[in-house]
Chain A
Amino acid sequence: MTGRRTGRLAMTNGARMATLLVLFCLLVVAAMSATAIGTVTMPFSRIAAAIFQFDGSRDHLLIMTIRLPRVIAAVLAGGALAVAGAIMQAVTNNPLASPDLVGINAGAAFAVVTVMTLFGEGVGDIYVWFSFVGAAIAALVVYALGSLGSVGHSPLGLVLAGVIVGTFLTSLTTAMLIFDQSTLDAVRLWTAGSVTGRTMAQARTVVPFIVVGLVAALLLGRHLTTLSLGADASRSLGQNPVVWRGASVAIVILLAGGAVALAGPIGFVGLVVPHIVRMCIGVDYRWVIPFAALGGALLVVIADMVGRLVFGSQSFPVGVTIALVGAPFFLHLARTRLKGET
């Protein structure tokens, strides 16, 4: 069901490596342009100077405190969410799975809304921590519940537990928002998913989690491919699915928890980028993971840039533009690449 048979098989490892390099170069170019383009366009040389020989001038301040943190947040969140989504789809063997299936988004939103309702808006940087902790607790509960139930030996338990916890937390959050207009007003841009106004300090808080998660995901690639064949196949190949499912959920918490803390609950990347990657390069997760990381980062950086340029608003939520940029491409792929398959 995960689209095991959807990819094209005839891509050699050399071609994949080359494509990966091209994607990386594209990402670097996109990130540079996103930093350069804006209300004031900067030449690349000034960006390099601001990074390496910071002199405190107005342009350098603009780059280091506004543009660069924003681009870094987009890269981190996009890459982390896409990889987390790929892992979730492999683990649950379900094309509808995404990082928020383990309650990441619901937990983060619940934590942020609770904190805002109780303490008002002026909590600042602490959001990052609250949403990370909320996401992690929700995901742990989902995992515990999923391995307890009668279906705990299969991915179905994890899937159903995720829906249960997610629905419960979302209901609580909605109930709070319906009766508290000022919190709704404060939180609605956050829930749309946005990288506006991120600071270097926030990015620095999240970087360790995401980097550790990414490295672990890359090392896990082979086991993910086995897991994606389903619990029975993986067990008969000598894998202990319970152990690897647990490890995968831990990585998803690091990656998606960090991303949501930084950029808010962006839904589309984690769900769709893994599908796009599998449709293009096949289902070997040793390759899917790096491609998803680069592809997700590229999508979010470009979407944020497009949002700023086309809509002319600095605070346009990137969660909206991602869907506008990514969905047509995804629909095209889904129509053309999936053939004669049940």
Chain B
Amino acid sequence: MIRLIVSLTLLLAVLVAASLAFGDVSLTWRELFDALAGTGEPDPQSAMIVFDLRLPRVLLALLVGVALATAGTITLAIMRNPLAEPGVLGINSGAAAAAMAVIVLVQDPPVGLLQAAGFLGAATMALAVYALAWRSGTSSLRIILIGIGLSALATAFTTLLSAFGDIGDVQRAMIWLAGSVYDASMVKVRLLALWLIVPVALALVFARELDLIRFGDLSARSLGQPVDLVRGLMIVLVTVLSGAAVAACGLIGFVGLIAPHMARRLVGGAHARLLPVAALIGACLVVAADLAGRIILPPVQLPAGIVTGLLGAPFFAYLLWIRRHDHR
């Protein structure tokens, strides 16, 4: 376990360093070290590239990865369904509909409106799903079904806008929907970091409750857990985490689904281990995806959300395939 955490942290550090070094202007490791430590020959250009252009972007990718993976792990536990990811709560479809509406319907939207709309859309949908699924108590199947129904409505709205909106707007909306960290800034990074501290800490505190609720409502209840309360609280955490991630950089799918599955394969089902490992995997995935998106086809920058699909999917397939004799 400790070895795994250390090696994942090292991998993450290498990825971060590589992201800081490589790009349109590549720095040598020596230049990178000098710029970071402020030693050696002061080179204002490489310092500017590292601190103002690349560092915010890398940190944002890292934070978003942590948020998505944590939210995904929680969702997997409370829904008890291998296909469950935060999108099940309508978060993605709500954010997509709100963002599409802002981009297509509002002329020259003010700065920040897109982010606010994304978060509000996600939160509204999650709240509506939970409220409609409440019927003297909740059940994960009812939440899933209500989520499907409401998501279908939101998606119909998005599809309508994308089928008849101005083609330029639709294209910009698709880039946003694909999920990208290109407009990162230090302000955004600090905001997101502050925003994430409480929910991530709470998730860790509730690791044992997650273990319990995963056994099923009946078992959890007979072991003394207030199931509805825990599920409600966890849904709030998921909304806060993935809503913030969506607002920061659009829809980066797949991470929230795959990081928990990978972590489960590595460390088993106890959430005290699962949550940190999944968070590290998520951070590695998004940082690596952003790095790859910048250097595969320069000067074109592929959105990180697309690269997570293109690279993460085959990698996960490889994981499935190499361990075929290992029936866990």
- Would you call the interface of chain A mostly helix, strand, loop, or mixed? helix
Interface range, A side: 35 or more
Flag whether B144 is at the interface (Cβ < 8 A).
yes
Q: How far is the CA of A319 from the CA of B159 in the complex (A)?
A: 8
| A192 proximity list for chain B (CB < 8 A) | 159-160, 162-163
Contact of A330 among B140, B149, B307 (CB under 8 A): B149
Residues A338 and B317 in contact, CB atoms below 8 Å apart:
no
Q: How far is the CA of A94 from the CA of B84 in the complex (A)?
A: 10
Residues B310 and A324 in contact, CB atoms below 8 Å apart:
no
Residues A184 and B141 in contact, CB atoms below 8 Å apart:
no
CB distance from B127 to the nearest CB of A (A): 15
Residues B141 and A96 in contact, CB atoms below 8 Å apart:
no
Flag whether B314 is at the interface (Cβ < 8 A).
yes
Residues B135 and A335 in contact, CB atoms below 8 Å apart:
yes
Flag whether A235 is at the interface (Cβ < 8 A).
no
| A275 proximity list for chain B (CB < 8 A) | 145, 148
Residues A272 and B149 in contact, CB atoms below 8 Å apart:
yes
Flag whether B276 is at the interface (Cβ < 8 A).
no
Flag whether A165 is at the interface (Cβ < 8 A).
yes
Residues B324 and A327 in contact, CB atoms below 8 Å apart:
no
Q: How far is the CA of A236 from the CA of B158 in the complex (A)?
A: 46
- Chain B residue with minimal CB distance to A175? B306
Are A342 and B218 CB-contacts (below 8 A) given A181-B168, A323-B155?
yes
Are A342 and B217 CB-contacts (below 8 A) given A161-B317, A168-B314?
yes
Residues of B bordering A, CB below 8 Å: 80-84, 88, 132-133, 135, 137, 139-142, 144-146, 148-150, 152-153, 155-156, 159-160, 162-163, 167-168, 170-171, 174-175, 178, 216-218, 253-254, 257, 261, 300, 302-303, 305-310, 312-314, 316-317, 320-321, 323-328
Given contacts A96-B84, A164-B317, A174-B306, 14 further A-B contacts (CB under 8 A): A96-B81, A148-B320, A149-B320, A150-B324, A165-B313, A167-B254, A179-B300, A181-B171, A268-B156, A319-B159, A320-B156, A324-B153, A330-B145, A342-B218
Residues of A bordering B, CB below 8 Å: 1, 3, 6, 94-97, 101, 145, 148-153, 156-157, 159-161, 163-165, 167-168, 170-172, 174-175, 177-179, 181, 184-185, 188-189, 191-193, 267-268, 271-272, 275, 317, 319-324, 326-327, 330-331, 334-335, 338-342
